[in-house]
């Protein structure tokens, strides 16, 4: 009898590629990702029927085509522990169409780019089975919910590689720091239009359009478009303090900023400097208090400046 594969035995590695689709040699010591809620769709594509004529009733054989792999997982949103040092999840952001700018000893900033996007090789072990994705690019959603652990949800699409049985590496996860629960103390600032608001939930979706482009002569995964969305739930205020109806009706561009973390090396600031407030959809009752869900659309001003993620 073959021993069962225990579902908890997982290892995830990711590394930026120097040449597209070429394995840059990943190690558990340098490239391990501390992830949770991992799901993988190992053989996405289509089954093309051969549609052959036959002189009897029966099914048709199919040919798998357009093969690619999709992996989803979450990482905790926390800094590196040292201002000016990139977080361990930085390569994942770069694989989602972001540029990284490091100011040594001060900050690390990420912002969207529209060209020359980087790619990743990702390797995921379940038991002793390795699923590899080459040339991977992806999409991301940052979430900060009151009394919850802030997280980033990642979805990566990569070129298909046949799974193999390979011994799992031993991961080193010390680069991932313990997160802070979102609270009044740990998340000291949230504003829309420079107005401080009491916040229940916050979510920034990159909205990357990720396309497997599998042609003769070249196969690649491309990010071909992007449309960010910022969703929040805030306490209702008097309209004299904050009136989203006026902002929506006038199509006024406004800013929004959230700061999470209090100690140097673990402060994350996400800014969306030119947002359009969408039409308010109503109210919610939470613990007898009126709250308002709002959707904002971050827009480019001079280009590639819809948002910034800065760690200090």
Contact 134, 23 (CB under 8 A): yes
Q: Please state, in angstroms and rounded to a whole number, the distance separating the CA atoms of residues 45 and 100.
A: 32
204: nearest Cα among 263, 150, 283: 150
pLDDT reported for residue 19: 98
119 backbone dihedrals φ, ψ, rounded to 5°: -135, 165
| Arithmetic mean of pLDDT, 126-130 | 98
The strand pairing partners of 284, in sequence order, are 291
Helix or strand run (H / E) with residue 29 = helix 28-31
Position 24 pLDDT exceeds 90: yes
Q: For residue range 191-235, list pLDDT tens digits in order.
A: 999 999 999 999 999 999 999 999 999 999 999 999 999 999 999
Count of residues making up the chain: 312
261: nearest Cα among 154, 151, 153, 183: 183
User: Strand ranges (DSSP E) for 193-264?
Assistant: 195-196, 199-205, 208-215, 218-226, 229-235, 253-260
Position 122 pLDDT exceeds 90: yes
| Arithmetic mean of pLDDT, 277-284 | 97
Domain coordinates in residue numbering, the chain = 10-48+65-311
Q: For residue range 146-171, list pLDDT tens digits in order.
A: 999 999 999 999 999 999 999 999 99
pLDDT reported for residue 1: 85
pLDDT reported for residue 2: 87
pLDDT reported for residue 253: 97
pLDDT reported for residue 285: 98
Q: For residue range 172-202, list pLDDT tens digits in order.
A: 999 999 999 999 999 999 999 999 999 999 9
Q: Please state, in angstroms and rounded to a whole number, the distance separating the CA atoms of residues 143 and 78.
A: 12
Per cent of the chain over pLDDT 90 is 99
Confidence of residue 64 (pLDDT cuts 50, 70, 90): very high
> How confident is the prediction for the chain on average, in pLDDT?
98
């Amino acid at each position: 009898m073959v021993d069962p594969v225990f579902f908890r035995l997982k290892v995830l590695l990711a590394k930026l590629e120097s040449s597209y689709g070429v394995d840059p040699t990943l190690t558990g010591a340098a490239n391990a990702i501390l992830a949770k809620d991992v799901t993988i769709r190992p053989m996405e594509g289509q089954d093309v029927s051969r549609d052959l004529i036959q002189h009897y009733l029966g099914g048709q054989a199919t040919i798998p085509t357009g093969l690619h792999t999709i992996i989803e997982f979450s990482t905790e949103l926390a800094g590196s522990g040292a201002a000016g040092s990139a977080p361990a999840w930085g390569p994942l952001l770069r694989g989602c169409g972001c540029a990284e700018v490091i100011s040594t000893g001060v900050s690390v900033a990420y912002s969207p780019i529209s060209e020359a996007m980087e790619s990743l090789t990702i390797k995921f072990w379940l038991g002793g089975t390795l699923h590899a994705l080459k040339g991977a690019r992806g999409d991301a959603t940052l979430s900060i919910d009151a009394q919850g652990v802030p997280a980033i949800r990642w979805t990566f699409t990569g070129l298909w590689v046949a799974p193999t049985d390979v011994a799992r590496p031993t991961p080193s996860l010390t680069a991932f720091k313990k997160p802070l629960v979102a609270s009044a103390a740990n998340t000291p600032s949230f504003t829309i239009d420079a107005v401080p608001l009491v916040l229940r939930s916050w979510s920034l979706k990159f909205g990357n359009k990720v396309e497997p482009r599998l042609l003769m002569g070249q196969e690649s995964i491309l990010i071909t478009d992007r449309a960010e969305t910022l969703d929040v739930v805030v306490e209702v205020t008097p309209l004299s303090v904050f009136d989203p109806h006026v902002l929506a009706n006038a199509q006024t561009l406004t800013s929004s900023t959230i700061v999470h973390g209090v100690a140097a090396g673990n402060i994350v600031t996400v800014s969306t400097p030119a947002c359009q407030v969408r039409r308010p959809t109503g109210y919610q009752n939470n613990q007898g208090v009126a709250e308002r869900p709002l959707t904002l659309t971050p827009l480019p001003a001079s280009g590639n400046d819809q948002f910034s993620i800065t760690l200090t």
